[in-house]
Structure 1
């Protein structure tokens, strides 16, 4: 890993991002690999993150990001 990057884990997959990455950067990278997903929730290190803060939430090296999609049923 380069010194100007950080490594995060998104749904058990490792990704390298620039040091100044925000949560939206990680989500864009994830969606480029998994396809566009409209409805989802996000947690960093087990703490859910409000959607209104995705653009300002800074990431740290080693953060574990969980992205979950709603499941319908009945």
Structure 2
């Protein structure tokens, strides 16, 4: 029997992940170097909450790196 999965978008790319995946687990799927901020469904998630923030099917995740310059 296949493991239940969810589909989420990370920076507009579709990912199929196991049900019960945390935000920290999802971030590990993409190549992004700190510093960055994360938002799920347009809501900022503090870095300390990444491991316990469980994702739901259809969540939209944005990982935003700061841009320097002017």
| Cα pair 2:3 2:18 within 8 Å, conserved | no
TM-score between both structures, scaled by the size of structure 1: 0.87
Displaced runs of 4+ in structure 1, greater than 2 A?
A: none
Give the Cα separation in 1 of the matches to 2:30 and 2:21.
13
Q: Deviations over 1:41-74 (max 9, x none)?
A: 0000000000110010000000000010001114
Q: Are residues 1:8 and 2:3 paired?
A: no
RMSD of equivalent CA atoms: 1.3
User: Unpaired segments of 5 or more residues in structure 2?
Assistant: none
Partner of 1:29: 29
Give the Cα separation in 2 of the matches to 1:30 and 1:4.
21
Structure number with the higher helix fraction is: 1
